Amino acid sequence: MRRALTIAFGGLALAGGFAAPALSGDPEEGRKIANMCQTCHGKDGYARIPLAPHIGGEPKDYLEAQLMAFKTGAREHEMMSVVTASLSAQQISDVSAWYAAHTATATLPDGVSSEDAPDACVSCHGADGISTLLDAPNLAGEVNIYIDTQLKAFRNGVRKHEIMSEISADLTDKEIRALADWYANVTLEIVAVE
């Protein structure tokens, strides 16, 4: 499983032109570390509290980058800053590999067509909120307030990213809420790895 994942990610990383991750994470080590995360994110990455995002089945590179950002203070959040302070870069890579090993699938609500998905987002986040990039998150089934808050954080500069800062710069509150609702209305299912 570990080997298959490495090959799959390696191939995609080359195809997408992204740098390979600095550390290769061990999902079995990560499984133990996930005990620290499960009250909020679940053991399989399906969030147990509304404030926390679903992280199961997201790209390892994205998870690892966010955890390192919390650890270094580049991204701030009172809970996640505390959680990551005690983790080494290797442990962060391991727990990212664990959460990435699950499979996330998304289903649009009945009667809703993917053609109505927000044009400005689908190339990277998919019509159903499953990321098409190694460094972008899934948005499927996240609580609308989480998506709303992150877009506003990009817009006001609290969270920075060259693509997302630019995309969110001119969005109104109303547009942000409509985008958040689109992805929040998708049903996310996470099938846990054995």
**Contact set with ligand HEC (CB under 6 A):** 33, 36-37, 39-41, 51-53, 55, 63, 65-67, 77, 79-80, 83, 95, 118, 120-121, 123-125, 133, 135-137, 139, 147, 150-151, 161, 163-164, 167, 179
CA dihedral 42, 54, 60, 140 (to 10 degrees): 150
Q: Which is nearer to ligand HEC, 72 or 123 (CB)?
A: 123
- Based on CB atoms, which residue is closest to ligand HEC, 5 or 171? 171
- Nearest distance, CB of residue 83 and ligand HEC, angstroms: 4
- Say how far apart CA 171 and CA 151 lie, in whole Å: 9
Closest distance to ligand HEC from the beta carbon of 110 (Å): 22
* Bridge pairing between strands 187-191 and 103-107: antiparallel
* Closer residue to ligand HEC (CB): 36 or 193: 36
Nearer to ligand HEC, 5 or 152 (CB): 152
In the bound state with ligand HEC, the residue whose beta carbon lies nearer, of 163 and 191, is: 163
Bridge partners of residue 188, in order along the sequence = 106
Smallest separation, CB 39 to ligand HEC (Å): 6
C-alpha to C-alpha distance for 15 and 56, rounded to whole angstroms? 23
Nearest to 106 by CA among 6, 187, 12: 187
Distance in Å, CB of 154 to ligand HEC, minimum: 7
Question: DSSP letters of 151-194?
Answer: HHHHHHTSS--HHHHHHHHT--HHHHHHHHHHHHTSEEEEEPP-
CB of 128 to ligand HEC, least distance (A): 13
